[in-house]
Structure 1
Amino acid sequence: MKKHIGLVVKDEAHAIRQADRFEGWLVEKGLTVTRRQSTDPAKKKSQATTVHLPTELFCVFVLGGDGTFLSAVRWIGDCQVPIIGVKFGEVGFLAETTEDRLLEVAETILNNQFTTRPQMRLQVQAYRNGEEITRGSAFNDVVINKGALARLARIRTHIDGQFLTDYRADGLIIATPTGSTAYSLAAGGPIIHPSVPGILITPICPFTLTNRPLMVPDAVTIKIQLAESTSDMMLTCDGQVGLKIDQGDTIVISKSATPVQMITLPDQNYFDVLKAKLRWSGSRV
């Protein structure tokens, strides 16, 4: 039976050219390829974004940056398809390899010389007047934040039904360990190893300096509400999908039952990758 490969490509000229070559290389090997173009979430969806996920995929290659990878994760949904990022963007924390090694790495994967590491996602549910208005998932983070003209939000937070605090802040980030190197890091949160079982709560520009980032067990359920009416507040998942929220809406966040199956290569070490991407230097005399 021929292997069926998924290919998600950044909407950028260089990535598209490389994807054309890579797709041709895969087809020459007798493989079937389903290709999807990733687009900026702020732009209108093109017809390319409506490509349906095939029922049987061997793996998915993502050619692009972290935004493209997050788009690919949304595409595969709950399907436990192994996925690998190939860095074409600026940072690429989610990429396992770089474009100059694409064919070499692809050969290794096609020969089944790889393992997968399950990395957690978050399940997100929003309720209005007691009725569910949306349900989704996030691989990096769930963010509640205000628009440019909105005042400080008062975000009431409960952990497993126990009141935690009212965050007075520009917003709140609920992140997975994978997402700890994304928006949460920029907001002053710590870096968490992807295999650490926890959920990170990071306030954005808190009014009270004692409101610090907090790590909670991944088994908890987090409930968030706006404690007062605040205009121009948004809930976003992975920066891809947004929902306007207001007082009375309830956001419930918990660990998803379906993780993302990240392909890992034998020669890769998390800390080496982390040091390279954060440009940490060695000791100096």
Structure 2
Amino acid sequence: MNTNRIGLVIKNDAHAEKKARELKIRLGNQCVIIDIQHSKNKDIPEDLLCMIVLGGDGTFLSAARFIENRGIPLMGVKFGEVGFLAETTEDNLFEAVASLLEGKYLIQKRTRLNIKVVRGNEQIIDVDVLNDAVINKSALSRLASCAVYLDSIYLTTYRADGLIVGTPTGSTAYSLAAGGPVVSPEVPSIILTPICPFTLTNRPLIIPDSTKIEIRLKGSPENIILTLDGQEGFEMDPKDKIFIKKSRDDIKMLSFEEQSYFKVLKTRLKWSGGR
């Protein structure tokens, strides 16, 4: 059995599909296309060296959720607009694959958050996210009311349009747009970012990733949505309790140079010194 097969996850995009065909021709049987929309986790071949994700951050997040706890390294190739999760661009794809097959790569671990929702005595959600969990009110609703407990000790009640609980990886996603800090993935932390808080002294907060978070929605309107990694939404009940902690399962990301995170950051945010 060839233990160097590479899985391909492809964005539904003509350009990405064309690049995938070129890669498939070059690698032949060493390459297997994985349809994450219509397959199940158990269908992933056992002999994968890694999975290459041709697409934007949304495709990468879908792939991360698809592999669950399988520990398969992911390599993002930027085809989307922003692409904080993709270190490699399509121009460097074949060069990166050559380095990959020669074993010239690094593996960086990115923490995930485990999100559980309890309704009454029943656990209705148990999902890991790579970026964030967002509690949002609907457009015309009154403010959400999120009472936050850290390790069972009451912190505060955020009255806001919503609350983002994110990983360092997710710090460059919705949290950044809401005024949250950029946090390096090597900093073991969880970020709490209120969205348009009613109290101006409610600021984004960085806490240790060993902290167990409980959020109670008591006092919130009926139409509150919990969104996981920007992809899956659940209607919440004001009596629901949300429990968030660091997941036991990291995501492994392939990299080809040290400090690549800051190079990607500078480039995507168009800072001076960024290419």
Matches of 2:257 and 2:270, distance apart in 1 = 22
Corresponding residue for residue 100 of structure 2: 109
Q: For structure 2, list consecutive stretches of 5 or more residues without a partner in the other structure.
A: none
Identical aligned residues as a percent: 50
* 1:210-229 paired onto structure 2 within 5 Å: 210-229=201-220
Q: Which amino acid aligns with 2:13?
A: E
The offset of 1:21, in angstroms, is 1.4
Corresponding residue for residue 148 of structure 2: 157
Contact 1:153 1:168 in 2 (8 A): yes
The offset of 1:183, in angstroms, is 0.3
Once the two structures are superposed, residues 103-134 of structure 1 have per-residue CA deviations (whole angstroms, 9 ceiling, x without a partner) of 11001001111110111000010000021111
Q: Structure 1 residues 264, 213: closer, same or farther in 2, change over 3 A?
A: same
Contact 1:10 1:16 in 2 (8 A): yes
Structure-1-length-normalised TM-score: 0.91
Pair 1:128-2:119 in alignment: yes
Contact 2:148 2:157 in 1 (8 A): yes
Matches of 1:22 and 1:81, distance apart in 2 = 20
Matches of 1:75 and 1:69, distance apart in 2 = 10
Moved more, 17-26 or 97-106: 17-26
The offset of 1:236, in angstroms, is 1.3
Contact 2:6 2:49 in 1 (8 A): yes
Structure-2-length-normalised TM-score: 0.94
Corresponding residue for residue 35 of structure 1: 34
Corresponding residue for residue 26 of structure 1: 27
Contact 1:36 1:51 in 2 (8 A): no
Corresponding residue for residue 17 of structure 2: 16
Corresponding residue for residue 5 of structure 1: 6
Matches of 1:239 and 1:272, distance apart in 2 = 25
The offset of 1:147, in angstroms, is 1.2
Displacement over 6 Å in runs of 4+: 48-51
Corresponding residue for residue 87 of structure 2: 96
Does the residue aligned with 2:264 lie in a helix, a strand or coil? Answer: helix
Q: For structure 1, list consecutive stretches of 5 or more residues without a partner in the other structure.
A: 38-45
Contact 1:26 1:33 in 2 (8 A): no
Once the two structures are superposed, residues 144-186 of structure 1 have per-residue CA deviations (whole angstroms, 9 ceiling, x without a partner) of 1011121111111100000011100000000000100000000
Contact 1:4 1:34 in 2 (8 A): no
Once the two structures are superposed, residues 209-237 of structure 1 have per-residue CA deviations (whole angstroms, 9 ceiling, x without a partner) of 00000000000100011121412211111
Matches of 2:31 and 2:14, distance apart in 1 = 23
> 221, 232, 240: which one pairs with 1:241?
232
How many correspondences in the alignment?
Answer: 272
Corresponding residue for residue 174 of structure 1: 165
Q: CA RMSD in A?
A: 1.6
> 191, 198, 209: which one pairs with 2:200?
209
Q: Structure 1 residues 82, 185: closer, same or farther in 2, change over 3 A?
A: same
